[in-house]
Structure 1
């Protein structure tokens, strides 16, 4: 994996000054070739050998997911409408070499193409998802997600390839409870309109060995955005490791904490985030941190954000830390420029 990431970095550096987009024919240069032995799963699976191409495949594919817990999808393009697909507890979903979930054009501003909602123990291998960004029927909304994870636990997303989403490539959030033990490995996310990955609430969320590039179109427009919606959300043991972000309109990695405020003087909100071996190339900022930008809220934070072995030399700007009330939150980094900026901006 180390050598794959070195290759990616060299290739992107060679492209960054010559073009603003990576052409689709070069996508494969960024991908680990997914050398997973899935034989055991496949032997126990339901396989869709009777697949007939339709204009809308949503009901048929959902029926497969409802029948058996291990499903190998058809080796073809699969067209999904606004209902999306829903996995269930203990599900294992395998995409074949030519399997692609393609979102049918819509005027809806909010949907999930592949939904992981209020379930546990799910594994998804080699997801290939194309959103309707280029086909969307209006300019409304920002929440058309490639993979939508809500209120779930023990989830593994292995080698997803996601592009052209109306909102985020992957969204991790929810309303009932925090997500727990979410693992995303070897992701390639490109040309998302809002964020590559949004982490709203989670405990033990690990995003590793992944590339996120060319996010643009609707703010925040960042590779990975860690941004809770309320003080009920949790950000506990979030690990971003071996990440390359490229040419995102705003941040490579963005952390926004201004919704973590409380009127209770006894309610300290613990935040633990580790960003290790992150390289950004060409984004406006490699790393952005924002707390209470108004300096008026009762923002009560504990915990640590740890930046280890980060490289923002090829970002348009290394970092941005907004004038903020971080209270007890600590930032640990060997980068003196970022460390001094945090001390200067913290109030």
Structure 2
């Protein structure tokens, strides 16, 4: 009898209890309509059918996203829709009508990867309506209120397909306005259109393109990005060789007032196994940005990424109107072409001039020897017991190593004098504010057979032992991987070990702290060269090189763009020392070295090495 009374009271009040598709009981505003959506009778729904709360509508919006409705309308209410992080699914059209605002709940989004609306491996998605997605940039960039993060994106897609985003305003995110990333073994987003979207004052990028195949961005504005590097209008930045920038068109867009570049390309993580780059930027305007465009670390010709980027009928009229728009250029990799483009001439006021052969932007430069021949940069050759002579005065005795802090991926060669347990020590240095998730080292034979794997404990700055039982005397390959862009290094070893360049990972990405190593120059060596290069923004390094007698032959401070040192025609035979130190200006973060004329083989101890 009591149950009947309760039911009558609930019915008279116009409310009823319902259970969401995740099994959590809620009191929906319009349970009959919600029930019709659940049964499939209705395929379109207003979020207000589930409910509305001026302070926090997360449970209602998420319930609508979890429902069977194919079209969801965030209908206009008396105030903004306030939400914590949301998660979407496939086969969804989300409409945010003009005058409606989906707003991040202030004081939330405490985790570094909290995003306003995220989709993973989803397909058939549409976002439209003319409304606004807003976050709280001024809070996330206030270190007194929030831990640092560059990943509090407004709208994020990981490995999604058949996506349309149009007629929206996306402002004030703690990361990117729109992020096109990748999750798991689905290496790209495909068939994505972003049209008539206004993106303003986002923390890191207006749009980040990590991986995309068949992407169209048109009639969009990306402005006033500031806070965390690169601070670009659009950033093209794959994180691994499996990702891609293929069949991408950016048309009729404006990038303006961004504290970094209008268009930013950081493609050094691609290599010869990656799909060819194909990007067309057409009828676009870059104005008032710190730089119009940048190509980062493209001198890493060892990666041999292929393809083309073309700027067609574009105008560049930016705050920093210099011709040095390319950082680190290489004809050995992709081509960069300008056709029908105009740029502001720094010596002639605001007048725009055609970009032709006499304009520095149109030339893709490559380092050359003094006789004009181009450098060739290749992967480090495999060591060979029949050709390489090992120097190790105390086999099996650990020695301290010169630390070289490497981000993301690293490859070493090492030599074991016999079948035994070899012992090394490693540590992980934090970069940014991300937590320690994992760092793994794998040892392989030279022909690719896995010998063993060691995972480090999740402790920063702690030296941890990694040991492997090698089956025989010989050379081996050691691969290291750390996530969240932290930096790892070896600090001790009882075997000779060398940092090398990999045809898969490219040049090692030095980071965060000073480092250095030793170059073995054997008899009969011919002229070689060393290249130093800073990172983006004000990331600089001081490079020093010492010959076998201990004489400093190169001391280059405040290295930002590529700087080269050439040896004599007949360099001194012996062990040379390379040092990376903090520069007088800027700050030390990402930097790199490359070697020409000799293999990239940097030994971590002068007591244990080999040479051919």
TM range (shorter): 0.7 to 0.9
* 8 Å CA contact retained: 2:128, 2:165: yes
Partner residue in 2 for 1:117: 120
* 8 Å CA contact retained: 2:288, 2:317: no
* Cα separation, 2, equivalents of 1:52 and 1:195: 31
Quickly say closer, same or farther: Cα 1:280–1:340, change in 2 above 3 A. Answer: closer
Partner residue in 2 for 1:260: 270
Q: Secondary structure at the match of 2:116?
A: strand
* 8 Å CA contact retained: 1:321, 1:341: no
* 8 Å CA contact retained: 2:330, 2:364: no
Partner residue in 1 for 2:336: 331
* Cα separation, 1, equivalents of 2:253 and 2:160: 24
C-alpha deviation, 1:132, in angstroms: 2.0
The reply on whether 1:320 has 2:319 as its aligned counterpart is no
* Cα separation, 2, equivalents of 1:211 and 1:123: 19
* 8 Å CA contact retained: 1:205, 1:238: yes
Instruction: Give ranges in structure 1 of 5+ residues lacking alignment.
Output: 1-42
- 90-99 or 198-207, which moves further after superposition? 90-99
Partner residue in 2 for 1:227: 237
* 8 Å CA contact retained: 1:332, 1:339: no
Q: Secondary structure at the match of 1:186?
A: strand
Quickly say closer, same or farther: Cα 1:95–1:261, change in 2 above 3 A. Answer: same
State how 1:1-347 maps to structure 2 within 5 Å.
45-50=44-49, 51-67=51-67, 68-76=69-77, 77-81=80-84, 84-104=85-105, 105-106=107-108, 107-126=110-129, 127-136=131-140, 137-176=145-184, 177=186, 178-261=188-271, 267=273, 269-293=275-299, 295=300, 298-317=302-321, 320-325=325-330, 327-334=332-339, 335-336=355-356, 337-343=359-365
* Cα separation, 1, equivalents of 2:276 and 2:57: 44
Quickly say closer, same or farther: Cα 1:257–1:326, change in 2 above 3 A. Answer: farther
C-alpha deviation, 1:338, in angstroms: 5.0
* Cα separation, 1, equivalents of 2:100 and 2:307: 42
Q: Secondary structure at the match of 1:101?
A: strand
C-alpha deviation, 1:101, in angstroms: 1.4
* Cα separation, 2, equivalents of 1:191 and 1:163: 6
C-alpha deviation, 1:325, in angstroms: 4.0
Higher relative contact order (CA 8 A, sep 6+): 1
Quickly say closer, same or farther: Cα 1:49–1:103, change in 2 above 3 A. Answer: closer
| Pair member with larger Rg | 2
- Using the size of structure 2 for normalisation, the TM-score is 0.46
* Cα separation, 1, equivalents of 2:72 and 2:149: 32
Q: Secondary structure at the match of 1:64?
A: helix
Q: Secondary structure at the match of 1:231?
A: coil
Instruction: Give ranges in structure 2 of 5+ residues lacking alignment.
Output: 1-41, 340-354, 368-373, 376-612
* 8 Å CA contact retained: 2:171, 2:177: yes
Q: Secondary structure at the match of 1:160?
A: strand
* Cα separation, 2, equivalents of 1:288 and 1:310: 15
C-alpha deviation, 1:243, in angstroms: 1.0
Quickly say closer, same or farther: Cα 1:205–1:342, change in 2 above 3 A. Answer: same
Quickly say closer, same or farther: Cα 1:338–1:256, change in 2 above 3 A. Answer: farther
C-alpha deviation, 1:95, in angstroms: 0.8
* Cα separation, 1, equivalents of 2:54 and 2:113: 24
1:279-336 Cα deviation digits (max 9, x unpaired):
111101112122445x4x6211221101101111344225621123452411121322
Calculate the aligned-residue CA RMSD, in Å: 2.1
* 8 Å CA contact retained: 1:179, 1:203: yes
